Amino acid sequence: MDSRTFVWWMVSCVVQLYPGLYTILMFLPASWDLDTGSDRGKVQFNEERIEGSVFFDIDNVSDKCSSLDHMLPSPQVFQEHVGKVK
């Protein structure tokens, strides 16, 4: 199943379970590339954007104190970044 098919399948499931939720649901694709400094994730997003989705830069949001790449930050920091998405 390709990513678009999966997303629309997921949306249909959400709509069936929670009919009013779709009006406030936002998809945040967070594609990234393992190459340091690569912007391939954003390029791919722009090439294959799912209608209504907003790009979410996981590297920008990741835990800067972790020795590991792409680790989720604290819930407070994550909420702050997600709250800025429009």
- And the tokens for 64? 């800067």
Other CB atoms within 10 Å distance of the CB of residue 39: 14
Q: Which candidate, 66, 61, 67, places its Cα nearest to that of 85?
A: 61
The full set of domains in the chain, from first to last, is 3-84 (3.40.250.10)
Q: Which candidate, 3, 16, 83, places its Cα nearest to that of 51?
A: 3
pTM: 0.54
59-79 tens-digit pLDDT:
788 898 999 877 889 999 988
Q: Which of 11-15, 38-42, 62-66 has the highest mean pLDDT?
A: 62-66
Q: Give the pLDDT of residue 22.
A: 64
Q: Which candidate, 59, 57, 61, 60, places its Cα nearest to that of 74?
A: 61
